[in-house]
Amino acid sequence: MSQTMQSIDIKNLTKYYRGNEKPAIDRVTLGITEGHIFGLLGPNGAGKTTMIRILCGLLTPTEGQITIGGYSLKSELAEIRKIIGVVPQEIALYQSLTAHENLAVYGGIYGLRGARLTDRIDEQLQKFGLEKSRNVQVGRFSGGMKRRLNLIVGLMHNPRILFLDEPTVGVDVQSKNVIIESLKDINQAGTTIIYTSHYLEEAEVLCTSLAIIDEGRIITQGSLDEIKKENNSTAKLEDIFLQLTGKSLRD
């Protein structure tokens, strides 16, 4: 795969947390191809969130070089912020603001204004079935509605690269279906998606490439077929996951 096709290029990424002798991320080298839905999977404490936080510019790596969309994370963070969208696991919304107000604030930060902003808000609310609740305070939303709105915020500026941390956790089947289908549409439109989840079946259906991380190291990566081939298995992703990461409980 050529270098120009890489949406994200990670070389020798290492992260130590203060007071820990063991690295949270240990010399990871990884390329994420533009236009892919990349699934970053791993047990609790494996280093998924640390990796996503580093890629979003929320944590500074101890070592390593990262380029995102052709920009250096170290020196061009401001440019990277313009082209990425982030959907955190938490419902990162202002509960006392309405759906419209939340989207207007976040969309405005990305530079959307006037009719363009209003049109984008209307379009996204309709797409995710929230148009009737546009003027309702988010605090009164159900869990599924909040999760959908949480996703819309990350999509407001039509990002080139979208980071999703457990986007379907705790939602009903209907909401989950809307989210998954929307992610496929967004990807079809050209957005690269980096996605973490504990739902391996969901990852199996959605992702075009995967990596399994454990104890800060990438233990396997590639398309689902490549991973099965590499591990001499025809079983489901969950079986390969357990085979690679073990069955012992994680904190």
Partner 1 sequence: MRILFRLAYKDYLVIVRDRGGLAMLFLMPLALVLIMTSLQDTTFRAINESGIKLVILNGDQDSLGTAIEQEIIRSNFFNVRHEIDNKPPTEKTIRDAVATGKFQIGMIIPAGATQHIRDQVKNNVASLFSGDSVELPPADSLIIRMYVDPATKNSMRSTLQGSIREFAARVESQIILNELTREINNHLMVPVANLNRMNRETVIYKEEYVARGDKNAIPNSAQHNVPAWTLFAMFFIVIPFASAMIKEKEDGSLSRLLTMPGSYATIMFSKILVYLVVCYLQFISIMMMGVYLFPLFGLPALEIAGKMTSLTVIAFAAALAAIGYGISVGTIARTHQQAAIFGSISVVILAAVGGIWVPVFMMPPFFRVFSSASPMNWGLNGFYDILVRNASLTDVLPYGIWLILFSLFCVLISLYYHKFRKEFA
Alpha-carbon distances of 129 from 15, 21, 47, 132, 178, rounded to whole Å:
40, 48, 34, 8, 9
How far apart CA 128 and CA 15 sit, in angstroms, is 37
Rule CB under 8 A: is residue 235 a binding residue for partner 1?
Answer: no
3: left (phi over 0), alpha (psi -120 to 50) or beta: alpha
**How much of the chain is helix, strand and coil, in % rounded to 5?**
40, 25, 35
Rule CB under 8 A: is residue 45 a binding residue for partner 1?
Answer: no
Rule CB under 8 A: is residue 99 a binding residue for partner 1?
Answer: no
Rule CB under 8 A: is residue 199 a binding residue for partner 1?
Answer: no
Cβ neighbours, 10 Å, residue 5 = 12
Closer CB to partner 1, 192 or 221, in the complex: 192
3-state secondary structure at position 66: strand
Closer CB to partner 1, 63 or 230, in the complex: 63
Alpha helices (H) along the chain = 48-55, 77-83, 99-109, 114-127, 143-155, 173-188, 200-206, 224-230, 237-245
Tell which one of 12, 29, 44, 58 touches partner 1 (CB under 8 A): 58
Rule CB under 8 A: is residue 195 a binding residue for partner 1?
Answer: no
Rule CB under 8 A: is residue 109 a binding residue for partner 1?
Answer: yes
Tell which one of 33, 59, 127, 169 touches partner 1 (CB under 8 A): 59
Find the shortest distance in angstroms from Cβ 173 to partner 1: 24
Six token digits for residue 212:
């399994």
Q: Which of these segments, 68-76, 102-110, 169-177, 202-210, binds partner 1 (CB under 8 A)?
A: 102-110
Build a one-symbol-per-residue string for 133-172: x at contacts with partner 1 by CB under 8 A, - elsewhere.
Answer: ----x---------------x---------x---------
Rule CB under 8 A: is residue 247 a binding residue for partner 1?
Answer: no
Closer CB to partner 1, 32 or 56, in the complex: 56
Residue with tokens 């939602």: 171
Rule CB under 8 A: is residue 97 a binding residue for partner 1?
Answer: yes
Rule CB under 8 A: is residue 73 a binding residue for partner 1?
Answer: no
Rule CB under 8 A: is residue 84 a binding residue for partner 1?
Answer: yes
Sheet containing 84-87, strands listed edge to edge, beginning at the edge strand earlier in sequence: 84-87, 161-165, 192-196, 37-41, 209-214, 217-222
Under rule CB under 8 A, how many of the chain's residues touch partner 1?
Answer: 34
Contacting residues toward partner 1, per CB under 8 A: 17-18, 53, 56-60, 78, 81-82, 84, 86, 88-97, 101, 105-106, 108-111, 113, 137, 153, 163
